[in-house]
Amino acid sequence: IKKIGVLTSGGDSPGMNAAIRGVVRAAISDGLEVFGIYDGYLGLYENRMKKLNRSDVSDMITRGGTFLGSARFPQFKEEAVRLQAIENMKANGIDALVVIGGDGSYMGAKLISEKGFPCIGLPGTIDNDIGGTDYTIGYFTALQTVVEAIDRLRDTSSSHQRISLVEVMGRYCGDLTMAAAIASGCEFMVLPEIPFNKDELVQELQRGIDHGKKHAIVAVTEKVCDIYELAKYIEEKTKRETRATVLGHIQRGGSPVAYDRVLASRMGAFAIELLLKGVAGHCVGIQRDELVHHEIEEAITKLKRPFKADWLKTAEKLY
């Protein structure tokens, strides 16, 4: 391997730039050339790429988002599109690819690898929902952002003696919600992994009110229910003013926290190490503080991330 490509794909996450920097600098240190591909698989298909030098990634470690750009590009499921992408890489002399993204992006990397073109996946998403890794790049930064937002909500919720619902991202994974709820002392949480019953939540809130609680904060993972409808329902039943706040894409921005920078740098360098050893079609993870790698296929299909039931148990004791 002499020349590698790197791209970021799917929803961006803080630390993607640090990961690109890790890939670029480790590759150059090992005597390789690196091409940055713009806007994920879309740019790969459209042949938009440029050589990156050490200085192209200077000052990138602190920056949120991804300077290469990212895109959701469902057309990459089509074989003809993928073949064109591989052709483009070959035409530019690229002989291996590092993909930084979530499990949709991993699927693309797996399919390219199956065509005999070596790829390595790095887990870049705030959702922390990827198999084969305890943590994903961007998760800890998003967690900090959510906790800071909930701290602010607590101030106003308590001043007005209200119930506040806060919607947290995570797709179908409750990790971000659960960790944020514990860290910010939320009264309740609604998670995609646990069947949701709004009347049980109302009963819990009512119990709190009966015990003299002046306000309550409920962290709700996106997609479980309509948070505005839920707020109306709770207000109707408890007669307590209830407000809903959707944190939205605020959660994806910002300078990465130190742990995400370290994780991204280590994973970026590890990807190069693996490619030079001839490993392909694998994704990088961190498990019990050790860098690991698994077949992408296995990570996507078999290594479902276990639900942190013990975290929930602890949280329930602390409500």
Residue positions annotated with a catalytic role: 127
Q: Does residue 128 interact with ligand F6P by CB under 6 A? A: no
Cα 277 to its chain centre, rounded Å, is 27
- Specify the DSSP class assigned to residue 288: T
Give, rounded to a whole angstrom, the gap between the first and last alpha carbons of the chain.
Answer: 54
Question: Looking only at residues 26 through 65 of this chain, which bind ligand F6P when binding is defined by CB under 6 A?
Answer: none
> Contact letters (x/-) for ligand F6P, 161-190, by CB under 6 A?
--------xxx-------------------
Nearer to ligand F6P, 205 or 227 (CB): 227
CB of 195 to ligand F6P, least distance (A): 20
Establish whether 174 is an annotated binding residue. no
Establish whether 126 is an annotated binding residue. yes
Contact between 94 and 2 (Cβ < 8 Å): no
> H helices within the chain, ranges in order?
16-29, 40-45, 79-91, 103-114, 139-159, 175-183, 198-210, 227-238, 258-276, 296-301, 309-318
Place of tokens 């990138």: 60
CB of 126 to ligand F6P, least distance (A): 6
Closest alpha carbon to 11 in 105, 76, 97: 105
- In 10 A of CB 297, how many CB atoms? 16
Longest dimension (CA), the chain: 70
Q: Does residue 125 interact with ligand F6P by CB under 6 A? A: yes
Q: Does residue 5 interact with ligand F6P by CB under 6 A? A: no
Of the residues 39, 103, 127, 260, which one makes contact with ligand F6P according to CB under 6 A: 127
Q: Does residue 69 interact with ligand F6P by CB under 6 A? A: no
Q: What angle is formed at CA 179 by the lines to CA 176 and CA 180, rounded to 5 degrees?
A: 80
Residues at the interface with ligand F6P (CB under 6 A) = 11, 72, 102, 125-127, 169-171, 222, 252
Which residues make up each annotated binding site?
A: 11, 21-25, 72-73, 102-105, 125-127, 154, 162, 169-171, 185-187, 213-215, 222, 243, 249-252
The binding site for ADP consists of: 21-25, 154, 185-187, 213-215
- As annotated, the binding site for substrate includes 125-127, 162, 169-171, 222, 243, 249-252
